[in-house]
Amino acid sequence: MKTQVIPAQITTVEDKIIGNLNLLQIVILLLSVFLSTIIFACIPPVMMVRTGKAVLMLLCLVGCGILSIRIKGKLVFQWIVVLAKFNLRPKFYVFDKNDKSLRQIDRDESVSKRKEMAKKSTKNDRFVYTDVNVSDLLRLEDLVKNNGLDIIFKTNAKGGLNVALEKIGK
């Protein structure tokens, strides 16, 4: 069987159906006809022409007409889809290699393991958490609320976070 490679320039050409309209433009314009039919048949008074219905049908026709206009070779509808996908994408990607999904965690064992780890930790361990007194929390809150001080967050090369309080110069 003989095969033939089709150049990319031929496969990217849009088919024009009626005049200069492609299939998507015709579907968008026909959508206005279907929506106008639904408006005419379903909104009371049913199957009677009223000015409110006529205005809704006209708005539907104008809206679909605007969506089928070409700008820089793309339809307005396609531009809206592209912008919507861009704006609805996640802004931040947080990767956590310690994902807890699909793991069985026994709560009693994990608590006992944490207690054992706390007992085994040395003074040089960076991740030892100690209990904080209420008086220390109140003193910290007073420092944060002080208008003469500014909180500065700095990151180091290894990803650590340093927090400092600095006097605001006048």
Q: Enumerate residues 6+ apart whose C-beta is below 8 A from 151.
A: 144, 163, 164, 165, 166
Which of 47, 42, 44, 17 shows the shortest CA–CA distance to 29? Answer: 17
Looking at 49-53, 94-98, 165-169, which range is the least confident one?
A: 94-98
Domain tally, the chain:
2
Q: Give domain status of residue 102, yes or no.
A: no
Contacts of residue 153, Cβ cutoff 8 Å, sequence gap at least 6 = 161, 162, 163
Residue 130: inside a domain, yes or no? yes
Do 21 and 62 lie in one domain? The reply is yes
Q: Which of 78, 73, 63 has its CA nearest to residue 29? A: 63
DSSP 71-138: ETTEEHHHHHHHHHHHHHS-S-----TT--TT----HHHHHHHHHHHHHH--TT-TT------HHHHH
Residue 59 located in a structural domain: yes
Share of the chain above pLDDT 90, in %: 40
CA distance 67 to 81: 11
| pLDDT tens readout for residues 64-83 | 999 999 999 899 999 999 99
In the listed set 88, 106, 131, which residue is the last one of a domain according to the structure? 88
pLDDT in tens, 98-111: 766 766 666 666 56
- By residue range, what is the domain housing residue 29? 8-88
Q: Does 73 lie in the same domain as 14?
A: yes
Amino acid in the structure at residue 77: F
Average confidence score pLDDT of the chain: 84
In a domain, residue 98? The reply is no
Question: Does residue 123 register a pLDDT over 80?
Answer: no
Question: Between 157 and 30, where is the model more confident?
Answer: 30
Residues 125 and 83 occupy one common structural domain: no
